[in-house]
């Protein structure tokens, strides 16, 4: 038969056990919101792009392009229509994918060599889910394989000059480099996208 002291001791042990378990649970890291968009490969990338804010991430052909954030697939180009004779803006990305993240930001990857079969508009993706593979399609044909990576505010479909990448931060000039640096070392950093009152006109070149 348990004495009152024994019962009190069991209660104390139970409380201490619960506190210990809760303490352990609190130390478990939450799943990352963001991740670097190229997985399992050595990469290099610069701080600046040639004539608009974006980043070219150099990696071997076939390296995985993964979703940098959870979200929904926006647009997908599964056929490389680019021609050097016409150099049409909408075709320059070759095989490409854009995602609207749960953070309300659009992410774009292009010059791919392959797109996964499940990746179609409306498909929900998880952070780090494979979308396709690095390549040199579109206007990158004949160059070293790389992922063109752009961040922008969402627009209607077909506004390619915004989708490819726009300036970030308060002055609208920052490239994705700052965010890529953070995600590569496991830091969650949400892009600060500047949404203008009107969409800029389509560039002539």
**pLDDT tens digit string along 156-179?**
999 999 999 987 776 666 789 999
**Cβ atoms within 10 Å, residue 45:** 21
Q: What percent of the chain has pLDDT over 90?
A: 71
- Determine the pLDDT at residue 17: 35
Token representation of residue 43: 């990469």
Exposure class string for 122-144: b at 16+ Cβ within 10 A, else e: eeebebbbebbbbbbbbbbeeee
User: Domains of the chain by range and CATH?
Assistant: 38-184 (2.70.70.10)
User: What distance in Å separates the CA atoms of residue 134 and residue 44, rounded to the nearest whole number?
Assistant: 13
Q: Please determine, for residue 21, whether its predicted confidence score (pLDDT) is greater than 90.
A: no
Note the pLDDT of residue 116: 98
The answer to whether residue 199 scores a pLDDT higher than 80 is yes
- Write down the pLDDT at residue 171: 64
Record the tokens describing residue 18, joined without a space: 């619960």
**Using an 8 Å Cβ cutoff, are 153 and 162 in contact?**
yes
> Among the listed ranges 44-48, 54-58, 109-113, 116-120, which one has the minimum average pLDDT value?
44-48
Question: Mean pLDDT over all residues of the chain?
Answer: 86
Per-residue pLDDT at 47 exceeds 70: yes
> Does the pLDDT at position 37 exceed 60?
yes
Q: How confident is the model at residue 83 (pLDDT cuts 50, 70, 90)?
A: very high
């Amino acid at each position: 038969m348990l004495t009152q002291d024994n019962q009190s001791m069991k209660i104390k042990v139970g409380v201490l056990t619960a506190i210990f378990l809760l303490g352990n649970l609190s130390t478990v890291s939450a799943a990352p919101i963001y991740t670097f968009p190229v997985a399992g490969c050595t990469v290099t990338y610069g701080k600046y792009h040639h004539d608009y804010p974006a980043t070219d991430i150099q990696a071997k052909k076939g390296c995985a392009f993964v979703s940098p954030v959870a979200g929904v697939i926006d647009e997908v180009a599964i056929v490389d229509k680019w021609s050097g004779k016409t150099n049409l803006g909408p075709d320059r990305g070759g095989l490409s994918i854009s995602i609207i993240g749960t953070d309300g930001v659009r992410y774009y990857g292009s010059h791919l060599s392959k797109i996964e079969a499940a990746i179609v508009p409306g498909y929900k993706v998880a952070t780090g889910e494979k979308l396709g593979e690095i390549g040199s399609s579109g206007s990158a044909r004949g160059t070293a394989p790389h992922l063109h990576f752009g961040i922008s505010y969402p627009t209607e479909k077909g506004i390619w000059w915004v989708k490819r990448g726009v300036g970030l931060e308060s002055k609208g000039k920052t490239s994705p480099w700052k965010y890529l640096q953070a995600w590569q070392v496991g830091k969650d950093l949400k892009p600060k996208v500047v949404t203008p009152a009107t969409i800029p006109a389509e560039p002539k070149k």
